[in-house]
Amino acid sequence: MERLTTPAGITVSYDKGGSGPPLVLSHGAFSDHHTNWEFVKPGLRKEFTVYAVARRGRGETDRTDGHTLEDEIADLVAVIESVGDPVFLAGHSYGAHCALGAAHLLPGRVRKLVLYEPGRPNLCHSAVLARLEDLATAGDWDELAFTFFRDALREPVEELDALRATDLWPPIVADGPASIRDIRALTKYDFDAGRYRDLDIHVLLQTGSESPPDLYVTDALAAALPRATIGVLPGQAHEGMTTAPDMYLEAIRTFLLESDPILERGRVGATAVR
**pLDDT score, position 265:** 35
**pLDDT score, position 269:** 38
**pLDDT score, position 217:** 98
Question: pTM of the prediction?
Answer: 0.94
**pLDDT score, position 258:** 84
**pLDDT score, position 76:** 98
Measure CA 222 to chain center: 17
Residue ranges in the chain modelled with pLDDT below 50: 260-274
> Cα(274)–Cα(267) distance, rounded to whole angstroms?
9
> Residue 231 in contact with residue 263, Cβ under 8 Å?
no
* Other CB atoms within 10 A of residue 127 CB: 9
241-244 contacts: CB < 8 A, separation 24 or more?
241/36, 241/37, 241/39, 241/40, 241/92, 241/116, 242/36, 242/38, 242/39, 242/168
| Residue 162, helix vs strand vs coil | helix
Domains in the chain, please, with CATH?
2-123+191-273 (3.40.50.1820), 126-184 (no CATH)
| Residue 178, helix vs strand vs coil | helix
